[in-house]
């Protein structure tokens, strides 16, 4: 377990997405020492694409993201969107691809949590802030 480290939030949200897209991740791939990707889900109510920058850990050819929302009591909107429709788009640097998202369970969740906390130790602190089990999501590139 580690102590919480306050991140530099000068690049956040829509600005992070825009800079990442404009530069193929030259700006925004590394954020506070962690690796980031762009995840585009389909809004479960609107049907519109919704893109968020997320810290990720690599797991072979897969990406692992954590629906922490900083330890808030509810899941982030992007997680609710992919729970309704697991077909997503992912961008890692200049690599854009479709993927299927699924929530890791059991031993796989534990292993993926360890990968994620190695990239972003603050996740261990976020757990202390909430009663919910923070979802760990695996993104698997679609065939083709």
For 47-97, write each residue's pLDDT tens digit: 999 999 999 999 999 999 999 999 999 999 999 999 999 999 999 999 999
Q: Which residues pair with 14 in a beta bridge?
A: none
Q: Which residues pair with 136 in a beta bridge?
A: 66
Q: Quick one: pLDDT at residue 87?
A: 97
Flag whether 93 is in a domain: yes
Q: Is residue 38 part of a domain?
A: yes
| Three-state SS at 9 | coil
Report angle CA 96, 69, 1 to the nearest 5 degrees. 105
Q: What single DSSP character describes residue 133? A: P
Is 20 inside a domain boundary? yes
pLDDT of 49:
97
Count structural domains, the chain.
1
Residue 1 lies in a domain: no
pTM: 0.91
Quick check: is 134 in a domain? yes
> Quick one: pLDDT band at residue 32, thresholds 50, 70, 90?
confident
Report if residue 87 sits inside a domain.
Answer: yes
The domain spanning residue 125 has which CATH number?
2.30.110.10
CA–chain centroid gap for 16, Å, is 13
User: Is 6 inside a domain boundary?
Assistant: no
N-terminal to C-terminal alpha carbon distance within the chain: 40
Residue 5 in domain: no
User: In terms of residue numbers, what domain contains 25?
Assistant: 13-141
């Amino acid at each position: 377990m580690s102590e919480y480290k306050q991140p530099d939030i000068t690049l956040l949200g829509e600005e992070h997405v825009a800079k990442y897209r404009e530069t193929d991740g030259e700006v925004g791939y590394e954020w506070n020492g962690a690796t980031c990707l762009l995840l585009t889900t389909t809004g479960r109510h609107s049907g519109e694409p919704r893109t968020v920058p997320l810290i990720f850990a690599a797991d072979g050819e897969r990406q692992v993201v954590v629906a922490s929302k900083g330890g808030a009591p509810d899941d982030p909107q992007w997680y609710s969107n992919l729970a309704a429709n697991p077909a997503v788009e992912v961008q890692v640097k200049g690599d854009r691809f479709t993927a299927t998202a699924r929530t890791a369970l059991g031993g796989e969740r534990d292993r993926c949590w360890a990968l994620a906390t190695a990239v972003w130790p603050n996740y261990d602190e976020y757990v202390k802030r909430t009663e919910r089990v923070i979802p760990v999501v695996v993104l698997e590139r679609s065939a083709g």
